[in-house]
Each structure stands twice: as C-alpha cells, then as structure tokens.
A and B are shown apart, each in its own frame.
Chain A
Amino acid sequence: GNSVTQMEGPVTLSEEAFLTINCTYTATGYPSLFWYVQYPGEGLQLLLKATKADDKGSNKGFEATYRKETTSFHLEKGSVQVSDSAVYFCAPIYSGGYQKVTFGIGTKLQVIP
C-alpha cells in the first residue's frame, strides 16, 4: 500500500530561521501532493499543493516542489515566524479521488522568539 515518511519532530527553530520538513512517499501511480497545516486547537487546512512533476506549490511564504524522480515533496520556508508554530502533514492524493488517503505522521514545528 501507499506510505508517507516525514520527520515527527518536534522541530524547534528561532524566529527568522530557515525551515525544511522532509516528505517522501511510496505510491503506485501519479498522485497530487499536498501539505496541510494544523494550528493549535484547530482542524487541518490546506497549505499548498502540486499536481504534476516539477510543479511548485506556494503559500504564506512556504514552498514545496513535486519531485517525481525522488518521490519527495519537501516543505521549505526561508524565514519562519512564531505564528508558523503548528503541525504540518504531507499527503499524496490521487486525482481519481475515490480512494483511501494516507497522511504523513505530522511534524510539529515550534518557533521561538
């Protein structure tokens, strides 16, 4: 079956530091790739997405590039803020849509002033 590997964390960074959260997946076929974010006490919300190889998704200063050859979708941000403290989930989802969905374990990010 499909699987997603991402670091669990917690990842603790100082404000304005560079962030990378790795995500690799194993899957048959050609999924769309998503990063979701969960702020404290809230549900998950979409952060960014990419639907084909070499696409770059971006939002709120975060970026991730769909790397088909390495089956990876690493999340990056050049300068994190305290407000970025959250849990981040990676997920490959197929365009057919009618399938089981596997999320990564979630990476907790804590940004300190």
Chain B
Amino acid sequence: EAQVTQNPRYLITVTGKKLTVTCSQNMNHEYMSWYRQDPGLGLRQIYYSMNVEVTDKGDVPEGYKVSRKEKRNFPLILESPSPNQTSLYFCASSSPLAGVYNEQFFGPGTRLTVL
C-alpha cells in the first residue's frame, strides 16, 4: 500500500530534550516536506526537500533541522525543543516528475507536546 508513515504518532517531552520525528514514504517520491498545524494559523511549511541531500527552508524553519540521506526518509529533528513547538506535525511527499499535478500525500500526523 502506497503510504507515508510517521513515528511516533504522539509524543510528550520536556524543554531541551532532543527528539527526532521520522517520516518514510514507499512511493519513490522525490519531494518531501514537513508542516506544522496550529489553531488559527493553518498549515505552515517547515522544511522541504527536492531530492536526496537537497533541502530548503519553508516558512517556519526556526528551531528545526532536517536531513535527506535516503530518498524514502525525511526525519525532522528538534535539537532543543521549546513549548512553542507544541503542535501537530505532518510529513508529505510528492513526485513532480510524475506530471503536472503534484498531489501531495500526507502522513497521519504526529502530535507533539513540549512541557
């Protein structure tokens, strides 16, 4: 089944404790992206990656890191989480090379709480 998976689905942590949220897709997509969803602010892009070893900042990259060492994986790293990073996070992937539509496929989300 074609899908985007994220782990963990739920995480409660404390300020300053480094964490990684994993994202993996099995569709051989070139493009992968991380978003955060907050009430009243909608969905905002954190980072995106056009292919292996190529990443770029979205609208809200501060406090986050990403890496793209393999095509299928795109982990989101919070080196020193703070309470303002409490949010619902989504990973997504797409294949621009597949045509003009560029439908993004989303993971199920990771709800992160930073105390």
Interface residues of A in 60-113 (CB under 8 A from B): 89, 93-98, 100-106
In the assembled complex, the CB of A49 is this many whole angstroms from the nearest CB of chain B, namely 6
Check A95–B90 contact: CB distance below 8 A.
no
Number of chain B residues whose Cβ lies closer than 8 Å to a Cβ of chain A: 32
**Would you call A100 and B56 a contact (CB within 8 A)?**
yes
Query: Once A and B bind, how many residue pairs between them come within 8 Å at the CB atom?
Result: 71
- B43→A100 contact, CB < 8 A: no
Q: How large is the interface on A (under 10, 10 to 19, 20 to 34, 35 or more residues)?
A: 20 to 34
Q: Is the CB of B58 within 8 A of A100?
A: yes
Q: Give chain A residues whose Cβ lies under 8 Å from the Cβ of B41.
A: 105
By secondary structure, the A interface counts as: loop
Cβ of B108 and Cβ of A43 under 8 Å apart?
Answer: yes
Name A residues whose Cβ lies closer than 8 Å to a Cβ of B. Answer: 8, 32, 34, 36, 42-46, 49, 51, 89, 93-98, 100-106
Give me the 10 closest cross-chain CB pairs, A-B, nearest first.
A97-B96, A105-B42, A43-B106, A95-B100, A103-B43, A98-B50, A44-B106, A106-B42, A97-B102, A43-B108
Interface residues of B (CB under 8 A from A): 4, 30-31, 33, 35, 37, 40-45, 48, 50, 56, 58-59, 90, 92, 94-97, 100-104, 106-109
